[in-house]
Amino acid sequence: MLSAKNLDVRYGQFRAVRGVSLEVKQGETIALIGANGAGKSTLLRAIAGALPIYSGELSFKHKVITHAASCDRVKQGLSLVPEGRRLFTEMTIEENLLLGKTINRAGDWDLDRVFDTFPNLVKRRHAKAGSLSGGEQQATAIGRALMSNPELLILDEVSLGLSPLVVDQVYASIEKLRDAGTTIILVEQALDRAIAFAKRAVCMLEGRIVLDKLTADTNRHEITEAYFGLQQSATQEAS
């Protein structure tokens, strides 16, 4: 469904993403993990079209989208919930959700279905997004992405700053999406949670992918080593 070949993404001279290749099949769930500054958000933002791709090729559903505008990617079914949620704080929950509908892709998601998925948003639907709790804001940001009927949903730091109970609620919702067959790439700092959720674990270190394995075939020790770069020489290609 998504195919990244040898992607480089730069901030000026700095190569934040270095020769990353990644294949994502329909219905897969991927936990993208790695230390702070590893390049996770940069990669996801480049996939969503929020940052330019310096070199390499990106395709989605067999169409090359390396330089496509982000709204065209949403039209094709690729939707990112960015780190930090990025809601319009002066607009209500409902207005924020409806923004996801401005790109009119056919599908089942509408306000009613989002409110069924996130029941605690219903009673606050007319409240300004800026007045919501962190968990409510996260649910709204996910709901807004769902309103565009994505085939690939990308979630960056889905549980950042949320209390454990709210994290459980958010995960219960995205597990429902996963079990319904939505393809999901998720960045999560809580390793155990990420591994339990996803079918594949992809670990980045200093802009590169250093581990890409089925979660069922990997163990915590292997992931920790990749995360901290303890096996760099074995897994990293020369720069």
Ligand X SMILES: Nc1ncnc2c1ncn2[C@@H]1O[C@H](COP(=O)(O)OP(=O)(O)OP(=O)(O)O)[C@@H](O)[C@H]1O
For residues 135 and 162, give the distance between their C-alpha atoms in angstroms, rounded to a whole number: 6
Closer to ligand X by Cβ: residue 83 or 95: 83
2, 60 contact by CB (below 8 A):
yes
To the nearest whole angstrom, how small is the minimum distance from the Cβ of residue 114 to ligand X? 26
Tell which positions 32-71 bind ligand X, by CB under 6 A. 34, 36-42
Name the 3-class secondary structure at 181: coil
The Cβ of residue 25 has, within 10 Å, a number of other Cβ atoms equal to 12
Closer to ligand X by Cβ: residue 151 or 156: 156
Contacting residue, 2, 4, 7, 16, with ligand X by CB under 6 A: 16
Site map 18..37 versus ligand X, x via CB under 6 A? ----------------x-xx
For residues 151 and 149, give the distance between their C-alpha atoms in angstroms, rounded to a whole number: 7
Q: Which stretch binds Mg ion (CB under 5 A): 13-21, 40-48, 114-122, 129-137?
A: 40-48
211, 218 contact by CB (below 8 A):
yes
Contacting residue, 41, 137, 140, 183, with Mg ion by CB under 5 A: 41
Q: Does residue 42 touch Mg ion according to CB under 5 A? A: no
For residues 114 and 93, give the distance between their C-alpha atoms in angstroms, rounded to a whole number: 11
Name the 3-class secondary structure at 34: coil
Binding residues for ligand X, per CB under 6 A? 11, 14, 16, 34, 36-42, 83
Binding residues for Mg ion, per CB under 5 A? 40-41, 83
